[in-house]
Structure 1
Amino acid sequence: MDIYQLRYFLAIAETRNFSRAAERVFVSQPTLSAGIKKLETELGAQLFNRSKRNTTLTEVGLRFLPRARTIIYECNAAKQEAHGNKPALRLQLGFHRILPIEQITTLLADYRKSHSAVQIALKEGTSEQLESWLDDKRIDVAISTPPTMPRKSEYERLFTTKCLLAMAASHPFAGRSSVTMQQLERQDFIHRSHCLTETEVTRTFARGGVNPHIVFRTDEDHKAQALVAAGLGFCMIPDILLSPGIKLISVDNVNISRNFGLSWHGDTDNELIRSFRLFASSHKWKPLKSELQNLEWAH
């Protein structure tokens, strides 16, 4: 078994595609395929389920994955020690795509001030992707919604985000603390198709007999925020997405929220992960109450 075979294996496991994996390790696809076939022959087992659409790990491949990562990590550490360098501490952090990147960059910039020796690798994804990456040990910690399979990982809540009505700061409703659903009938709305609470919001409005006029659909929050700030429509967004030019107020009888927190594997808990958890739990994740005109927060 050679190191290059393990690198090929990890590239395919992470990209789930032989062509993209070959590009990542700078070899031709036939060379990559030959290396994997040789590795599978040496192990006496198939590592991947191959199909035209996707490539997934077999049960053997899943068991082999953490060992392959450990071997590569130890190999890199040995090289650094041989050159007189102290092996770098590496934290692989996953975060939910709904979280504002400004929050993540502020958190990591502050963290690096007191943990300058730690290398940080980031992955952004949905709740399902983050849970899968955590289970595959492709990330060490995830900042996301509670795991659907809590028995597989540990979880610590960081904050609760509430779904509120966003509008331009200059809108006539901006001076109010709340509006009724009926006041939103046939009003122009920006629809966030990727929202965690999309189904719940849609059903709540439907039960209230309210039919908003959708003027734009997007799965990118910065576009929704820009359109709202420009006065082109309302939007239901989590309060963590408060941004300049936007005012957030409550909608009567709409009480929709989501918890966000840290998830990690109990069997991989170490001093590095514990130090990051402690730091993240003290981070200011949401605006001050005064910034939202004394709205009632879910804590």
Structure 2
Amino acid sequence: MIDRYLLRYFLAVIDQGSFSKAAVHCNVSQPTLSIGIAKLERLLSRQLFLRSNRRVQLTEAGVQFAVHARRIESEFNLAERAAGSESQREIFRLGTLSSIPTAWIARFAVEFGNGNDAGRIELVEGRERELLEGLARGRIDAALTILRPDNGRFSGEALLSEGYGLALAAHHPFAHDASIEASALADNVMIVRRHCEVLSETSRHFTSHGVRPFFAARTTSDDRALALVGAGVGVTVMPEGFSAEGVTRPKLAGFDFRRTIGILRAPATRASETEARALEALRTTIPAFQKA
């Protein structure tokens, strides 16, 4: 039988990133915590961590066990609150890709909240790699992110596919053009979306057409990028789903990259009532933003 304190040691190492920090978090000595982890590995007949001087990394067995450990610890916490006669509301932790439009997330939140008195949603924003790591370590229950062929260890469900285009101020000389050649923007000031998943491809596209612009701003906020575009500070490239007053979205000729947005979940997990409600809200709202 696996004692609960062993699960707590295991999860603490994941969350804190090292045995020493995990020991402090658990209020035990590092040797005590190390002995506990070794005992857990013997009980499971699996090595859970790859240890080195610089970092602690989960093995494949550790990644798989982390999902179960999170759920077991969550059930323990729910049982404790119930035993104490405390009001309890289940929490569903959804990772959201930082380059997904705010309007999409807001529409989902409204749909999830309508008539829902039982569960809560916790939104955890991050980049692709951060969300994949969060799923692997059980820090989030699902992720709304880009689906890729190498995401095979997770269960994926596509919701929407979109391309990338230019974002120009409504008063820009090319604002009403349907498609614009990169070379036509040679003298334009540009805004860099530093978190863009096709940033390298965008740079190569412009440089291959002889365009080496001045960058007026570098930002990780799409809302700020849109505001700067609308103010006429510069132009940028972003997914088709973004829109704002005073901004037009013509195509960038020859830039044919696309992304598929969908739900990633740990495989073979049974959805709770709150999770099922959240997933259905995603299926209802996100595809509605699909461009024709």
Class of the TM-score when normalised by the shorter of the 2 chains = 0.7 to 0.9
Residue 198 of structure 1 and its aligned partner are, at CA, apart by: 1.5
Q: Matches of 1:265 and 1:38 in 2, distance apart? A: 29
Relative to structure 1, is the Cα distance of residues 239 and 20 closer, same or farther in structure 2, using a 3 angstrom cutoff? Answer: farther
Tell me what 1:293 maps to: none
Q: Matches of 2:41 and 2:281 in 1, distance apart? A: 45
Relative to structure 1, is the Cα distance of residues 211 and 280 closer, same or farther in structure 2, using a 3 angstrom cutoff? Answer: same
Tell me what 2:136 maps to: 135
Relative to structure 1, is the Cα distance of residues 274 and 43 closer, same or farther in structure 2, using a 3 angstrom cutoff? Answer: closer
Tell me what 2:279 maps to: 277
Segments of structure 2 that go 5 or more residues without pairing to the other structure are: none
Q: Matches of 2:120 and 2:32 in 1, distance apart? A: 30
Tell me what 1:39 maps to: 36
SS at match of 2:210: coil
Tell me what 1:195 maps to: 196
Q: Matches of 1:170 and 1:250 in 2, distance apart? A: 17
Tell me what 1:173 maps to: 174
RMSD over equivalenced CA pairs, Å: 3.1
Q: In 2, are the aligned partners of 1:189 and 1:235 still within 8 Å (CA)?
A: yes
Relative to structure 1, is the Cα distance of residues 50 and 181 closer, same or farther in structure 2, using a 3 angstrom cutoff? Answer: same
Relative to structure 1, is the Cα distance of residues 91 and 19 closer, same or farther in structure 2, using a 3 angstrom cutoff? Answer: same
Relative to structure 1, is the Cα distance of residues 266 and 51 closer, same or farther in structure 2, using a 3 angstrom cutoff? Answer: closer
Residue 150 of structure 1 and its aligned partner are, at CA, apart by: 4.7
> What pairs with 1:149-164 in structure 2 (closer than 5 Å)?
149-164=150-165
Q: Matches of 2:149 and 2:264 in 1, distance apart? A: 11
Relative to structure 1, is the Cα distance of residues 287 and 143 closer, same or farther in structure 2, using a 3 angstrom cutoff? Answer: closer
Q: In 2, are the aligned partners of 1:147 and 1:153 still within 8 Å (CA)?
A: no
Segments of structure 1 that go 5 or more residues without pairing to the other structure are: 289-296
Q: Matches of 2:122 and 2:32 in 1, distance apart? A: 27
Residue 4 of structure 1 and its aligned partner are, at CA, apart by: 4.7
Question: Which digits, 9 at most, give the CA deviation of each residue in 1:62-105, with x for residues without a partner?
Answer: 45423432332222122233234576433221111111334323
Relative to structure 1, is the Cα distance of residues 154 and 37 closer, same or farther in structure 2, using a 3 angstrom cutoff? Answer: closer
Q: Matches of 1:103 and 1:140 in 2, distance apart? A: 19
Tell me what 2:207 maps to: 206
Question: Which digits, 9 at most, give the CA deviation of each residue in 1:115-139, with x for residues without a partner?
Answer: 3211323322222332333234332
Relative to structure 1, is the Cα distance of residues 167 and 44 closer, same or farther in structure 2, using a 3 angstrom cutoff? Answer: closer
Q: Matches of 1:115 and 1:73 in 2, distance apart? A: 21
The amino acid across from 1:280 in the alignment is L
Q: Matches of 2:225 and 2:154 in 1, distance apart? A: 33
Relative to structure 1, is the Cα distance of residues 182 and 65 closer, same or farther in structure 2, using a 3 angstrom cutoff? Answer: closer
The amino acid across from 2:201 in the alignment is E
Normalized against structure 2, the TM-score is what?
0.81
Question: Which digits, 9 at most, give the CA deviation of each residue in 1:9-41, with x for residues without a partner?
Answer: 313312424576567x4x66xx36344224124
Q: In 2, are the aligned partners of 1:193 and 1:218 still within 8 Å (CA)?
A: yes
Find out whether 1:216 has 2:217 as its counterpart.
Answer: yes
Q: Matches of 1:262 and 1:287 in 2, distance apart? A: 15
Question: Which has the bigger relative contact order, CA under 8 A and spacing at least 6?
Answer: 2
Q: Matches of 1:59 and 1:4 in 2, distance apart? A: 22
The amino acid across from 2:285 in the alignment is H
Tell me what 1:230 maps to: 231
The amino acid across from 1:212 in the alignment is P
Normalized against structure 1, the TM-score is what?
0.80
Q: In 2, are the aligned partners of 1:5 and 1:35 still within 8 Å (CA)?
A: no
SS at match of 1:174: coil
Question: Among the aligned pairs, what percent are the same residue?
Answer: 29
Residue 279 of structure 1 and its aligned partner are, at CA, apart by: 1.9
Relative to structure 1, is the Cα distance of residues 93 and 44 closer, same or farther in structure 2, using a 3 angstrom cutoff? Answer: closer
Residue 175 of structure 1 and its aligned partner are, at CA, apart by: 3.2
Q: In 1, are the aligned partners of 2:155 and 2:266 still within 8 Å (CA)?
A: yes
Q: Matches of 1:285 and 1:229 in 2, distance apart? A: 26
Q: In 1, are the aligned partners of 2:64 and 2:136 still within 8 Å (CA)?
A: no
Relative to structure 1, is the Cα distance of residues 255 and 278 closer, same or farther in structure 2, using a 3 angstrom cutoff? Answer: same
